[in-house]
Amino acid sequence: MVDVLALVEARLRTALGEPDARAAVTFLGTDRVEVLRFQDTGQEGGIVRYATLGMSAQPMSDPTAMLADPVAGPRAELVLSVRGGLADTDKVLRPLAVLAASPQVEGVVVAPGASLDVGDPLWPGAPFTSVLVAEPGGLVEDLELDAPLDPVRFLPLLPMTPNEAAWKRVHGAQALQERWLTNGTDLRDPSRKSVPLD
């Protein structure tokens, strides 16, 4: 059987460089989830990227299915990018691991356009408790696996304020992303304010 996680980590290293830190979280009844931290010092202020490793070990299955298919089904990992040095964002490791474990724990399929809520600030003092799952393929390319396995998709997470999350529920993910774009919102700012929504 192919070692999916070894291939995923290799893809992350190719796209983001060497991780400078990693943490592992294990929840009762689930596989271990690691979160890797990558520092991108090439950009002004530096971008810190956090990527999960472990979510793609099992395919996500339809929560209405009687039996989970051990082979077929979408696979994904999560990637969060924030500006470094502006907040204690390393505390996002556990919330990210919780989100990565949600397909196993809650039987959900994480896909672009979905909202994921951790119920608490993503890191101390963060104005965000939830994230919007964005379209993959930009930062880290999909990882093709041998048939019959689905490719692993690397899903960017965009932090949302509670007001943005509520607005998104009514108007949809596309409308919120257009609002962010129109207002020039810096989605990597760990302490940004909510975009104007009226």
Amino acid at 91: K
Tell me the helix, strand and coil percentages in the chain, rounded to 5. Answer: 25, 25, 50
Q: What is the pLDDT of residues 167-186, one digit of tens each?
A: 999 999 999 999 999 999 99
| pLDDT score for 143 | 96
> Is the Cβ–Cβ distance between 107 and 95 less than 8 Å?
no
C-alpha–C-alpha distance, residues 152 and 156, integer Å = 13
Q: What is the mean pLDDT of residues 97-121?
A: 92
Q: What is the mean pLDDT of the chain?
A: 91
Q: Which two tokens stand for residue 171?
A: 């108007």
Which residue do the tokens 């969060």 mark? 80
pLDDT in tens, 125-143: 999 999 999 999 889 999 9
pLDDT value at residue 85: 87
* % the chain with pLDDT above 90: 75
Q: How far is CA 79 from CA 76, 141, 159, in A?
A: 10, 12, 11
* Rg of the chain (C-alpha set): 16
pLDDT at 68 over 90: no
pLDDT of 57 higher than 70? yes
Indicate if the alpha-carbon torsion angle 51, 56, 57, 63 is positive or negative.
positive
| Predicted pLDDT of residue 108 | 86
pLDDT at position 45:
63
Count of CB atoms situated within 10 Å of the CB of 53: 23
Residue type, 61: S
Q: Is the dihedral of CA 161, 165, 167, 173 positive or negative?
A: positive
pLDDT on residue 42: 64
Q: Which two tokens stand for residue 136?
A: 């993959």
Residues across the chain: 198
Please report the pLDDT score of residue 198 as a whole number. Answer: 80
Over the stretch 12-29, which tens digit does the pLDDT of each residue have?
999 999 999 999 988 877
> 155, 134 in Cβ contact below 8 A?
yes
